[in-house]
């Protein structure tokens, strides 16, 4: 079962990386850019009998390592197809 985790900085936490990327894009002519935040994608292939079990397992991975609750929120979704490496 293939699962995608999106890890983002929690709302209200300043994203200095995102701010730098935003400045660069505005400099490239994207003056309509209103907000930009950078996050992380983690794609996981987990051996699980069904979607719920896979998501639960990946949720444990997030709690244990993939996200830092002081700074980050995460969302989990199942994905179709092969993970591109």
Binding site for other proteins (CB under 8 A): 13-14, 16-17, 20, 64-66, 68, 70-71
Residue 27 C-beta-side C-alpha neighbours within 13 Å: 6
User: Which of residues 16 and 52 has its CB atom nearest to other proteins in the complex?
Assistant: 16
Tell the smallest beta-carbon distance from residue 10 to other proteins (Å): 10
Q: Are 41 and 6 in contact (CB under 8 A)?
A: yes
The CA distance from 24 to 41, in Å, is 22
Tell the smallest beta-carbon distance from residue 18 to other proteins (Å): 10
Tell the smallest beta-carbon distance from residue 5 to other proteins (Å): 11
User: Which of residues 23 and 30 has its CB atom nearest to other proteins in the complex?
Assistant: 23
User: Which of residues 12 and 49 has its CB atom nearest to other proteins in the complex?
Assistant: 12
Query: Which among 23, 2, 5 is positioned nearest to 67, based on CA atoms?
Result: 5
The CA distance from 52 to 76, in Å, is 11
């Amino acid at each position: 079962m293939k699962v995608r985790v999106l890890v983002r900085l929690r709302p209200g936490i300043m994203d200095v990386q995102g701010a730098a990327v935003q400045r660069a894009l505005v400099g490239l002519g994207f003056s309509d850019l209103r907000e930009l935040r950078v996050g992380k994608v983690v794609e996981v292939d987990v051996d699980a009998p069904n979607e719920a079990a896979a998501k639960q397992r990946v949720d444990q991975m997030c709690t244990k390592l993939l996200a830092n609750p002081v700074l980050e929120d995460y969302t989990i979704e199942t994905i179709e197809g092969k993970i591109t490496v």
